[in-house]
Structure 1
Amino acid sequence: MSDIIQLLPDHVANQIAAGEVVQRPASVVKELLENAIDAGATTIKLIIKDAGKTLIQVIDDGKGMSTTDARLSFERHATSKIRTADDLFQLHTKGFRGEALASIAAIAHVELKTKQEQDDVGNTIVIEGSNVVSQEVVVTPKGTSIAVKNLFFNIPARRNFLKSNTVELRHIIDEFHRVALAHPNLSFAMYNNGSETFNLPISNYRQRIVNIFGTKTNEKLVPVDEDTEVLKISGFVGKPEYAKKTRGEQYFFVNDRFIKSAYLNHAIASAFDGLLKNGTHPSYFLNLKVDPQTIDINIHPTKTEIKFDDEHTLYALLRSAVKHSLGQFNIAPVLDFERDSNLDTPYSYNNTQTSTPTIEVDRSFNPFQEEKQRGKQTTAFKPTPNNWDSLYVGLESKGTKTQQDFSEVHFESEESTGSLFSEDKQIDNIQTTYQLHNKYIVSTIKSGMLVIDQHRAHQRILYEDFLKNMTIKEAVSQQLLFPLQLHFSVQDIEIINQLKEDLEHTGFIFSSVNKESVEIIGVPVSVPESEVSIILEQLISDVEHEVPDTHFSATDLLAKSMAKSLAIKTGQSLQKDEQEHLVNRLFACKEPNVSPTNRTTFVTMSVDELDKKFI
């Protein structure tokens, strides 16, 4: 039998490795930004076109590379960060696996320009799908510029799996935020399709957060600072009243590296226990400094997951540090056993001798004597009117009239106290719907019983209403007495601008849209003013994560998001007429069987099925 195992060619191996390292354009952005930081850059520029599908370019002013290093950097397992296996537990840099550039070059057109400070000229290398096209001498400033063009050009299947430009750009911005927040001591700039999106100068940590998420963020932050032998914690948490329904503004950095940790996130959530509304999540921007020997970074290709030696201690320290900060800044109620100065003796009475208060008693006072006198007066008083006989004048004539009119008397209660089992009344008062656990509406049908999920049913009703309004563009709007001003981050404002026209067709009226805020003067009739900010936040979140998917239009996505936000919630009690109205509106819909997210809205149970339950 012939041998069947063979070594893979380098270009195939590189493409397989690229599947782990490069999942989308944001993965390339992360690797290139981290390389620029490791190169000692102080100013880093990120240039994006078509959400990274056409161009991703990172320009830095770092130390650059020599001719040999520039060529070797595109080989697999080539790195300047480690020499031995022991170095994996003493990592102070970002990229160390030595596969980033090799993986990127295997699935894109890459152009590298680099120059060291002591050299007169630099080098440029052009690679297409792991093949070196050219390597030449070039005049270029100090540092490195690497441009990645036509991502996944040789893997069309992977390119087809990419989401829309809006979603991919959001992932790129997320990666940009993670790197920029971890390094406020560096200057970052980002340009998208020729326009400047971010320009972040060197600053302290608080200023960096404000520069990214908007000036309104400053008043939401509570500082956290704790220094122990095991862990050093610094950063900020958001005030409970500003908690969001999404987990967007949650950042953990361990030794200046962004990580995801459900365990540590639970520590933050437990510190906020009792301070948050249901369904909301706190914001936090926390830096954790630990000994590199106590963590293992190399357990995931994207290096966003870390294994800690002693997670329980970190959990306890993190929870107590956040809880202490919330109490220290009067965000959370705390028990304070310190002396209250308000209870101290005033200075003017410090040396004054205390005296026993005297009580004066009237020993001759007899309360019973006064009561007896009042009692005698009461019994002695008998009113006797002089014209008492006038009280009975005309009594006989009134009685005669009453007897004559008895046959014509109509009692008011006679009509309402008819037969208790009257057929007509029984039909009028019969209840056709019942609410079960404030979640389901039970109704009778000819064949048996109908059980409706009130939340999903109302979603379907609102979804079709919004879709109709946006299609025919005849939505009714109600004017607000006072304009409503809402603050958002830069990228959220961009999404609102994209959806502004569709939002106006549903009934929203925008008076102005600025760089960090929007002003609304009109809302749809069915939308209460207090729900506007929640609706827009949910809508932005859905667009960012593309719910449902690229195959649906923005109008459809907007209608689904608004219906989800405004639908009757589970647990809400409904009156009898509200239940019947919901049932009637549901079955007037085009597709009453499913909610906008394709979930069942009602189930039926026939009499035969019920009978079988009692066999």
Structure 2
Amino acid sequence: MPDIIHLLPDNIANQIAAGEVIQRPASAVKELLENAVDAGATEIKLIIQDAGKSLVQVVDNGKGMSETDARMAFERHATSKIKNIDDLFHIRTMGFRGEALASIAAVAQVELKTKREEDETGTCLEIENSRVTRQEPVACPRGSNIAMKNLFFNVPARRNFLKSNAAEMRHIVDEFTRVALAFPAVFFSLSSNGQQLMHLEKGSLKQRVVQILGSAHNAKLVSVQENTDYLNIYGFVGKPETARKTRGDQYFFVNQRFIRSAYLNHAIMNAYRDMIAQDSFPLYVLFIDLDPAQVDINVHPTKQEIKFEDEKIVYAFVQAAVKHSLAQFSVTPTLDFDLDPSIQGLDAVSKPVSDEKKAAVTSSSLYQTFTKKNQAHFIEPSQKSELKHWKDFYEKPSTPAKPGEPAPARTEGPAHSQAAHTDIPGLAEASSIHRVSAPEEAPSLPGMPRPGNKIAPIEGAPLQQLLNTYIVTPTNRGFILIHQQAAHERVLYDRYAAAAAGKGIPSQKSLFPATLQLSPPDAILLQELAPDLQILGYQIEPFGKDSLIVQGTPADTGQGNEKAILELLLEQFKHFTSDMKFSRREKLIRSMARQQAVKAGQSLEDSEMKALVEGLFATQQPNVTPGGEPTYIEFRKEYVEKLFGR
């Protein structure tokens, strides 16, 4: 039998390796930008065509390469960063394994122009499918200019798995942002299809953060700076009001390398405990510098996951540094102990305690009782106390009132009046308790009506709002407790879904169009959503770099708060992006319904409650929200009667 094991050809081996390193155009952007940084560049330009599918080009003014180095750079595991095994544990550069260029050349058509300062001419290389097709001298400035064209041209199956241009562009912007944040002393620019999206001048870290996240964050950043013998932590965290429902603006860097770490994120969440909502995420851009020997960065193909030698120490330092910064800048909640000036003038405050007064105080029974451990309940009642007979206030009179005489005043005490004013909340609370404790006789679950006995609110019946959140209304077989936010979300969802499938919602032109200044990723996302938003009544057009203008809004909504609505809509949409089973339009419709629904805690007029209840039961599925949460709980008449033993 002949031998069956053989070595793979280099081009096939490179394509397999490229599957780990180059997953999409953004992966190539990351590798090429990091190579430019390692080359000592002070100016780096990224040029994109067709969301990276046609062209990814990086131009830098780094030290460049010789003719031999340019040819060697595309060989597998060819690197200038590692010479022996010890170098692997002292990595301070971004790249070091020599896989990036070889992987890119295996799945794209690559053109490289590079030149060193001391060379008269540069070198031009053209590589396709891991094979050099052209090599010749060329006139070019110092540095490197590498262009990756037609990604996955020789692997059509991989190319078919790429997302839409807008989605791939968002990934590219994310990678560009991470590298640009890590090196604020380097100029970066990003151009897409001939239009410049980002222009980041050299500056301080705060200037770079504000350039990327938006000028609105300038006054909402808290500086973090802690230096220790083991590690240094610096950067910025956002004030509690910057917390969002998504993790978008969270960046961790270790030795200027972007990483993902749920463990360190947990440390920051602990530092913000009791300052933000549990389902919110704070903003932070934090850098950790420590000895490379304490970190293993070679545990993941993209190097975005690392291992610390002692994670607990890093966790403690990060949490302490963030807590200290929030406290130092008076962001944490504090108690105000300022006294009224009139209180300061009292004798008890202004005059010292004399020996006679001290002796009188310490000899009292009250002082003696409180100074004994666990004896506070033995306080002796004072003879002068006006509350000596307080229990009589709640007891019935020993003798009934004579005919014609008014009843004693204490029979109408607080207990009676309180019961008279809390009957409705008490009923709702008791019902919810019994519903849990008696599942067999519990009120019918929403969406499970009995055959031939469909639930229907009684027309014209009075509606009652409880706790500014719930609406109680009688029905043909009992009563229901409606959650106003969940109900409105169902009404809006059906309306938007019908609009998306039909004519669309009419739009009214704005007399004074609102201008939105967004961060580059949000601007790209909103441009992607603009066609679907137009169906729902919003007319949005580009208006310069990272800016959009709202020309029209839905005809039945008020004007003046378009900016806040669309910013919150973007946050809500990003909250849904992790759910892959929905289309983009479905995510948008759900986001708008949830974001624009009336919120819990908002008081409603009778006409608003009536319109909400009627709108809810006019929908196709009134019992649940689009996300499957109940919109109301039903209490059947027979069940309520059993609660009272009837």
Fold equivalence (TM over 0.5): yes
Q: Identify the residue that residue 468 of structure 1 maps to in structure 2.
A: 498
**Secondary structure in 1 aligned to 2:114?**
strand
1:319 aligns with 2:324: no
Counterpart Cα distance in 2 of 1:28 and 1:561:
32
Q: How far did residue 212 of structure 1 move?
A: 1.4
User: In structure 2, do the counterparts of structure 1 residues 265 and 449 end up closer, same or farther at CA, with 3 Å as the change threshold?
Assistant: farther
Residues 87-133 of structure 1 show CA distances to partners (whole Å, capped at 9, x for unaligned) of: 11111111111111001100000001111111110111101111111
**Tell me, what secondary structure is at the counterpart of 1:112?**
strand
Structure 1 CA distance, aligned partners of 2:119 and 2:10? 33
Cα distance in 2 for residues equivalent to 1:44 and 1:239: 32
Measured after TM superposition, the shift of residue 492 of structure 1 is 1.6
Instruction: Sort the Cα spacing of 1:460 and 1:13 in 2 relative to 1 into closer, same or farther, 3 A.
Output: farther
Q: What is the SS of the residue equivalent to 1:19?
A: helix
CA offset digits 1:466-525 (Å, max 9, x no partner): 133345555367999998776521332233244345434424466995655667685564
Q: Distance in 1 between matches of 2:548 and 2:128?
A: 45
Q: 2:564 aligns with which of 514, 533, 542?
A: 533
Q: Structure 2 CA distance, aligned partners of 1:564 and 1:441?
A: 20
Relative to 1, partners in 2 of residues 1:473 and 1:335: Cα closer, same or farther, differing over 3 Å? same
Distance in structure 1 (CA, Å) of the matches to 2:141 and 2:575: 37
> Are the aligned partners of 1:442 and 1:449 in contact in 2 as well (CA < 8 Å)?
no
Structure 2 vs 1, CA of residues 533 and 500 (structure 1 numbering), >3 Å: closer, same or farther?
A: same
Question: Is 1:444 aligned with 2:449?
Answer: yes
* Residue 556 of structure 1: how far off its partner (Å): 4.4
* 2:617 alignment counterpart: 584
Alpha-carbon spacing, 1:284–1:106, altered in 2? closer, same or farther (3 Å): same
Partners of 1:141 and 1:100 lie apart in 2 by 23
Matches within 5 A, 1:15-164: 15-164=15-164
Tell me the equivalent position of 2:175.
175
Q: Within 5 Å, which residues of 2 pair with 1:245-260?
A: 245-260=245-260
Q: CA deviation at 1:211?
A: 1.3
Alpha-carbon distance in 2 for matches of 1:556, 1:442: 23
User: Residue 232 in 1 paired to residue 232 in 2?
Assistant: yes
Instruction: Write the distance in 1 (CA, Å) between the matches of 2:630 and 2:351.
Output: 80
Q: Which residues of 2 match residues 371-386 of structure 1 at below 5 A?
A: none
Partners of 2:555 and 2:245 in 1: CA distance? 22
Is the 2:166–2:524 Cα contact (8 Å) retained in structure 1?
A: no
Inter-CA distance 300–447: structure 2 relative to 1 (3 Å threshold): farther
Aligned partners of 1:164 and 1:550 also within 8 Å: no
TM-score normalised by length of structure 1: 0.73
Q: Residue 10 in 1 paired to residue 10 in 2? A: yes
Q: Distance in 1 between matches of 2:597 and 2:255?
A: 44
- Using the TM superposition, give the Cα deviation of residue 577 of structure 1 relative to its aligned residue in structure 2, in angstroms: 7.0
* C-alpha distance 14-204 of structure 1, shift in aligned 2 (>3 A): same
SS of the equivalent of 1:190 reads strand
- Secondary structure at 2:446 match in 1: strand
User: 1:367-446 counterparts in 2 under 5 A?
Assistant: 441=446, 444-446=449-451
Whether contact under 8 Å (1:267, 1:316) holds in the other structure is: yes
* Partners of 2:286 and 2:228 in 1: CA distance: 15
Q: 1:18 to 1:594 in 2, by over 3 A?
A: farther
Contact 1:440 1:452 survives alignment (8 Å): no
The equivalent of 2:277 in structure 1 is: 277
Tell me, in whole angstroms, the C-alpha distance in 2 between the residues paired with 1:550 and 1:150: 29
State the partner residue of 2:529: 499
Q: Distance in 2 between matches of 1:452 and 1:131?
A: 71
- Amino acid in structure 1 at the alignment position of 2:158: R
User: C-alpha distance in 2, partners of 1:274/1:354?
Assistant: 40
Matched, 1:559 2:592: no
For 1:566 and 1:127, the matched residues in 2 are separated by 53
Deviation at 1:17, TM superposition (A): 0.3
Pair 99,355 (structure 1): closer, same or farther in 2 beyond 3 Å: closer
Cα separation, 2, equivalents of 1:150 and 1:120: 31
- Deviations for 1:414-461, whole angstroms, at most 9, x for unmatched residues? xxxxxxxxxxxxxxxxx9xx9878996365321899999988886565
Q: Alpha-carbon deviation of 1:158?
A: 0.7
CA change 1:457–1:25 in 2 (3 A) is farther
Question: Does the aligned pair in 2 maintain the 1:250–1:285 contact within 8 Å?
Answer: yes
SS at match of 1:145: strand
Tell me: CA distance 1:479–1:68, structure 2 relative to 1, closer, same or farther (3 Å): closer
Opposite residue 591 of structure 2, the aligned amino acid is S
Q: Distance in 2 between matches of 1:593 and 1:243?
A: 32
Paired residue secondary structure (1:244): coil
In structure 2, relative to structure 1, the CA distance for the partners of 1:469 and 1:573 (3 Å cut) is same
Aligned equivalents of 2:102, 2:563: Cα separation in 1:
48
Equivalent residue of 2:618, what SS? helix
CA RMSD of aligned residues (A): 4.4
Distance 1:313 1:11 in 2: 45
AA aligned to 1:111 is: E
CA distance in structure 1 between the partners assigned to 2:332 and 2:508 by the alignment: 38
Distance change >3 Å, CA 485–CA 222, structure 1 → 2: farther
Asked if the contact 2:114/2:143 (under 8 Å) is kept, the reply is yes
Q: Is the 8 A contact 1:222 1:326 kept in 2?
A: yes
Identity score, percent: 49
Q: What letter is aligned with 2:145?
A: S
The unaligned stretches of length 5 or more in structure 2 are 355-427, 437-442, 456-479, 632-646
By how many angstroms is 1:334 displaced? 4.8
| Contact 1:496–1:540 (8 Å) recurs in 2 | no
Structure 1 unaligned residues grouped into runs of 5+:
347-351, 357-430, 603-615
> What is the distance in 1 between the residues matched to 2:131 and 2:177?
33
Q: Could you tell me how far apart the structure 2 residues matched to 1:355 and 1:319 are?
A: 45
Say if 1:128 and 1:594 are closer, same or farther in 2 by CA, change over 3 A: farther
Cα 1:535–1:274 shift into 2, 3 Å: farther
Q: Distance in 1 between matches of 2:533 and 2:599?
A: 23
**Which residue of the partner structure matches residue 286 of structure 2?**
286
Question: Residues 523 and 529 of structure 1 are in contact (CA less than 8 Å); yes or no, is this contact kept in structure 2?
Answer: no
Deviations 1:201-225 (A, max 9, x none): 1100000111112211201111011
The 1:290–1:355 alpha-carbon spacing in structure 2 relative to 1, beyond 3 Å, is closer
SS of alignment partner, residue 232 of structure 1: strand
**How far apart in 1 are the matches of 2:100 and 2:585?**
39
Deviations, residues 27-62 of structure 1 (Å, cap 9, x unaligned)? 000000000011111110000001100000001111
Task: State the Cα distance separating 1:279 from its structure 2 match.
Answer: 2.0
Asked if structure 2 preserves the Cα contact closer than 8 Å seen for 1:547 and 1:557, the reply is no
- Letter of the 1:281 partner, please give it: F
Give yes or no for contact 1:441–1:579 (8 Å, CA) kept in 2: no
Cα distance 1:263–1:58, how it changes in 2: closer, same or farther (>3 A)? same
User: Are the counterparts in 2 of residues 216 and 487 from structure 1 also a CA contact under 8 Å?
Assistant: no
Provide, for residues 130-173 of structure 1, a one-character-per-residue CA deviation record: whole Å limited to 9, x for no partner.
11111111111111010000000111111111111111100100
Asked if the contact 1:113/1:145 (under 8 Å) is kept, the reply is yes
Separation (CA, whole Å) in 1 of partners of 2:568 and 2:273? 23
Larger-Rg structure: 1
Residue 22 of structure 1, CA deviation: 0.4
Cα distance change on mapping 1:594 and 1:184 into 2, 3 Å: same
Question: Structure 1 CA distance, aligned partners of 2:16 and 2:4?
Answer: 20
Deviation, structure 1 residue 244: 1.2
Deviations 1:159-201 (A, max 9, x none): 1111111111001000001000000011111111101111111
Letter in structure 2 aligned against 1:326: L
Q: Taking structure 1 as reference, are residues 525 and 267 closer, same or farther at Cα in structure 2, changes over 3 Å only?
A: farther
